[in-house]
Structure 1
């Protein structure tokens, strides 16, 4: 009898545990479903509120933490006018960074950078690079929208704000992880007062971008306009750049320079290898440099008998070592310096130089191009043809 009671008690306990677990799962799922509904309602509210805004202005502080530990902390202001026909941003804008007194005007597919102190103006190419200019750094590109593609989103409401946190999928192109974005939106008009974006790059510290907004003015309350800002353009002197002169190192022999190996700094290695050589100047913070690694590695593998590839990095050697390992790049890398870049007239990266077996610089390439391989093929083909035939 005692045994039957015990069995009955155990059975009842099992049933109770299953019911508790089921209730727990239902509660979790219901909570997730409610959160999703809450966020969908917020998205709908945002869309309605933002449609009411044709023009706005704000003051802003933009703080950026870079992978190498550098921090930018800049302040300025902006005017943004919605333009549904604009294919790049969806709006026209004026942004000015206070410390440099440099501004950017973008309207109707035209862009002008203003050097207010010198009263000079430079015509810019209208594309997304504009947001990297001093005035462009004051522009928050997503001012009229929330994110559309994300892995997950959390929403917390307070008495005066909404706190939104997005989590995104890893970037497989640049191998970046821990990609998140946090927004604090004002209750009454849902405009952001704080935006923080974080990304963990392949090497180095976490990249962080923060916008802090204040002093919003909307529609008729905005005291100026893009049209007004454009009216002063004729008061500025255009900056005219001379056609860049050819790099004087082209056609000349490279200096007899030795550099420390990236992984064995106690070992020196000569740039002039008396062999066809491709010199690749790169840095860890340069996305196009890293993107081209597989192509450079392929050249190294394909033409290893007749071609020497030498990578040259001048900053953050420890991070550079980590990056080379992660990318499985086994071509030779050396530790460069500013004097070397000056010698080769390298003012940006990636930069490539093709050097023949006599040490003469044949070509320079700013950015990776398929012409690099075609020039290598052409040179090696000429070398084969020029070799004397052996008579049998």
Structure 2
């Protein structure tokens, strides 16, 4: 199936992701003007964003269950309202403590209902199983495209006006997600799913919890979250410690985003043609080699740029493969719930990656121990995916060919 033949639902889901994740990726450029406006330290703003990310993961399984029961369209629309309300409240408040409610809780809830888990769950029901990973890869790439579609405009708005007006504009843009979500309606299920025996949510959770491979998937995604947030949070400081400028760090992160667009689709495409377990192991082996090379070689502008591109290529390629494995093993019916639980584990890893990175640096005065820890974790994640039993559960094997 060509990507141009994907249902309208897929493209509307991608449009929601571009807005939702594009706005989320821009919050870093609001740090300085908001800190100056509220008269707080950077730690206060960082804590509000940390609360947002933790609640983003905590809400995810609950929102996934709601999507599986009531439909992705309704959940995404309500999420867009929460997202826009949080941004508007952030723009209007003059009391910094309210940021934990607005930028933290409301935006965290909005993100959980308008991001990968909900959109991928809807896509899984609209695309035949043999093309799922490719569709998931294209959908994942949209998140990185959103970063480049939104951030430059946000920076221009901050320069021309102020952060409050820009937040209000973002809140208005969130209404577009409501319109796009109205098209994310489940159509007729692919023929291969017609005869799957009926299953309740409770039965689906019991079935997944008894599957050893499901827990290996959790562990692998935990490693992914640890890697992503550690690098995103501490790479600029690490490069500064090595004597490189802030511009070099920004370019390295830009390369991460650019190459992630291509990498997400590439790994998803491989997942449609080869065993997802082996593709996932190959991805983590690539991460192992890339990180090990980066901390071994001299840190220069060129190696920083190369690292950004290489790690970006395997940055979120785990998303289409992980969600594709969950869909392959357990089916599409409760994908939003089951993948939502896996994503929560990813967010726990993200929280620890950001926090432990700073903890190790404060203790040792160097990032070297944590860098080598990420190398070992990547190698372990590569091994963990090999023993996963990726065959559909017996319930799905009962359906006619």
Give the shorter-chain TM-score range.
under 0.3
More helix by share: 2
Normalising to structure 2: TM-score of the pair? Answer: 0.20
Normalising to structure 1: TM-score of the pair? Answer: 0.21
| Structure (1 or 2) with the larger CA radius of gyration | 1
For CA contacts below 8 A with separation 6 or more, give which structure has more relative contact order: 2
